[in-house]
């Protein structure tokens, strides 16, 4: 995955080095600008069994700030925000690999360094008893749930 | 014994009359006897499905999920007309956004499982859920509107098309708070296990329906442009989405 480009970030930003699960690293550029969740919409994406994105809807593209061509084929870690604890994603993957549904609050990173909060559900796509991929549907979280997630994640690593 | 065709119980009398004509069209296309059956509630319809009394159904996506995964139905086509939800309050209500709705609020809705599910998702940003709200089930979307106008309910869930179809007089007394923009879930025409071998045949008849004037008129009266074929994977994906949402 490519590092983020300072030219894409309007204004001041912080630089953070993320250690990803597969052992690779990515330098991300982060601002404090929140993009509000689009009213009434769902953000949907789908992956192959390895977690590479195969489909995403208009809202996914709009909220991430990337072009669709920059998203397809990438892992969701493209959206990984440094404020998210690795343990949350470990739980997500363990749950989904066991064929179960995962729910959680996720702070996502945009191409422009800003962020947006979602309430996400991840489910495995099971066909003839085999996991052929994963789907995630995100919806608008309440302010209270976001505040709770912020304090929970602050105590995790 | 004739086969049985039915549609989602959320349709009003005018639409049912058009679906009755569709049933006549179906019988002619499949050259077999098909009886058009209507149900007063989703509950009654589901019971009939469990008893194996339904062979062809124009189903909402929520029911399609159990018809395909548990009852062996297959999806043939959908009108490419997504199901969306409108959440509205009375025009005189002080509430002007989802987030200003409070715990304890009374929700008027029909027993349409799709719209109930989507409506509740649209209320989540206000921390509202089944346990801290009161559900008032109405027989029709007109009744949902009435419950709002008569102040028996604080907020109402509508199938967006049904909301649009309310009279201007009624709409002028309502205030929509949010419209869903999901785009991926829609009703679909499904065939039961006894009719699986007719799927390709029916599909090609549905595809050519818009090519002849009579079929085109009928489609328009149902509010569609054309039928689009759905393959198995598309249907499975829609079901996955519904299951992901039905938390
Ligand atoms: C279907 C699906 C959707 C996901 N959506 C997101 C997402 O929106 N944001 C995110 O940071 N991680 C998401 N993840 C988790 C990522 O795959 C990844 O685990 C996470 O970004 C942390 O990166 P890492 O595991 O490489 O350390 C998703 C995973 C799956 C299977």
Encode pLDDT of A140-154 as tens digits. 999 999 999 999 999
Residue numbers of B between 160 and 219 with CB closer than 8 Å to A: 178-184
CA B14 to chain centre: 15
Token digits of residue A39: 């009213």
CA–centroid distance, B242 to ligand 1, in Å, is 21
Contact indicator for A28, A2 with CB cutoff of 8 Å: no
In this complex, which of B124, B182, B233 lies closest to A140 when CB atoms are compared? B124
CA–centroid distance, B101 to ligand 1, in Å, is 32
Task: Look at residue B83 and tell me whether its pLDDT is greater than 90.
Answer: no
- pLDDT at residue B81, rounded to an integer: 81
Protein residue closest via CA to atom 25 of ligand 1: A21
The atom number, within ligand 1, closest to the CA of A51 reads 31
**Average pLDDT rounded to a whole number, residues B121-142:** 96
Q: Does A143 touch chain B (CB under 8 A)?
A: yes
What's the mean per-residue pLDDT of chain B? Answer: 93
- Cβ pair B243:A123 closer than 8 A: yes
Q: What is the per-residue pLDDT across A1-34, written as a single tens digit (0 to 9) for each?
A: 888 999 999 999 999 999 999 899 999 999 999 9
Q: What is the DSSP string of A80-148?
A: B-TTS-HHHHHHHHHHHHTT--EEEEEEEE-TTS-EEEEEEEEEEEEETTEEEEEEEEEEPPPHHHHHH
Task: Look at residue A132 and tell me whether its pLDDT is greater than 70.
Answer: yes
Q: Does A50 touch chain B (CB under 8 A)?
A: no
Q: Provide the strand spans (E) within chain B.
A: 3-7, 34-37, 56-59, 74-78, 85-90, 106-109, 134-137, 155-159, 174-179, 188-191, 228-229
In this complex, which of A41, A57, A142 lies closest to B127 when CB atoms are compared? A142
Domains of chain B, each with CATH number or no CATH: 3-82+184-246 (3.40.190.10), 85-179 (3.40.190.10)
The percent of residues above 70 in pLDDT, for chain B, comes to 100
In this complex, which of B124, B245, B247 lies closest to A142 when CB atoms are compared? B124
Instruction: Please state, in angstroms and rounded to a whole number, the distance separating the CA atoms of residues B67 and A65.
Output: 38
- pLDDT at residue B247, rounded to an integer: 66
The percent of residues above 90 in pLDDT, for chain B, comes to 79
What's the mean per-residue pLDDT of chain A? Answer: 95
User: What is the pTM (predicted TM-score) of this model?
Assistant: 0.91
State the helix-helix crossing angle for B61-71 and B232-245, rounded to 10 degrees.
110
Q: What is the per-residue pLDDT across B106-116, written as a single tens digit (0 to 9) for each?
A: 999 998 888 99
Instruction: Please state, in angstroms and rounded to a whole number, the distance separating the CA atoms of residues B102 and B147.
Output: 18
**Average pLDDT rounded to a whole number, residues A40-64:** 96
The atom number, within ligand 1, closest to the CA of A134 reads 1
The atom number, within ligand 1, closest to the CA of A118 reads 8
Residues with CB under 6 A from ligand 1: A 20-22, 47, 51, 75-77, 79-80, 84, 86, 89, 92-93, 96, 106, 108, 120, 122, 134-136
Asked whether this complex has an ipTM greater than 0.90, the answer is: yes
State the helix-helix crossing angle for B13-30 and B213-222, rounded to 10 degrees.
150
């Amino acid at each position: 995955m490519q590092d983020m480009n300072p030219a894409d970030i309007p204004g001041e930003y912080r630089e953070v080095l993320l250690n990803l699960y597969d052992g690779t690293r990515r330098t991300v550029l982060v601002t404090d600008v929140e993009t509000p969740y689009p009213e009434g919409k769902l953000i949907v994406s789908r992956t192959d069994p390895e977690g590479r994105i195969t489909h995403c809807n208009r809202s996914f593209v709009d909220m991430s700030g990337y072009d669709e061509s920059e998203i397809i084929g990438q892992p969701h870690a493209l959206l990984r925000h440094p404020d998210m604890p690795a343990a949350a994603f470990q739980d997500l993957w363990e749950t989904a690999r066991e064929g179960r549904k995962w729910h959680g609050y996720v702070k996502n990173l945009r191409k422009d360094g800003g962020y947006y909060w979602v309430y996400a559900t991840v489910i495995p796509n099971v066909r003839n008893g085999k996991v052929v991929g994963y789907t995630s549907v995100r919806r608008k979280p309440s302010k209270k749930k976001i505040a709770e997630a912020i304090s929970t994640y602050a105590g995790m690593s | 014994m004739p086969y049985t065709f039915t549609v989602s119980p959320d349709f009003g009398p005018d639409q049912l009359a058009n679906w009755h004509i569709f049933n006549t069209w179906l019988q002619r296309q499949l050259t077999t006897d098909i009886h058009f059956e209507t149900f007063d509630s989703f509950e009654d319809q589901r019971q009939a499905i469990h008893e194996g009394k339904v062979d062809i159904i124009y189903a909402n996506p929520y029911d399609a999920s159990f018809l395909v995964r548990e009852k062996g139905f297959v999806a043939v086509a959908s009108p490419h007309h997504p199901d969306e939800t409108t959440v509205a309050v009375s025009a005189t209500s002080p509430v002007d956004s989802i987030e200003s709705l409070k715990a304890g609020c009374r929700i008027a809705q029909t027993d349409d499982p799709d719209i109930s599910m989507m409506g509740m998702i649209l209320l989540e940003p206000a921390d509202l859920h089944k346990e801290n709200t009161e559900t008032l089930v109405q027989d029709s979307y007109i009744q949902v509107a009435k419950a709002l106008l008569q102040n028996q309910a604080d907020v109402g869930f509508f199938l967006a098309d049904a909301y649009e179809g309310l009279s201007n007089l009624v709409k002028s007394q309502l205030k929509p708070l949010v419209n869903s923009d999901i785009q991926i879930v829609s009703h679909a025409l499904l065939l039961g296990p006894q009719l699986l071998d007719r799927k390709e045949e029916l599909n090609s008849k549905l595809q050519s329906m818009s090519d002849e004037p009579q079929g085109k008129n009928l489609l328009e009266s149902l509010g569609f442009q054309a039928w689009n074929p759905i393959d198995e994977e598309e249907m499975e994906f829609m079901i996955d989405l519904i299951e992901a949402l039905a938390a």
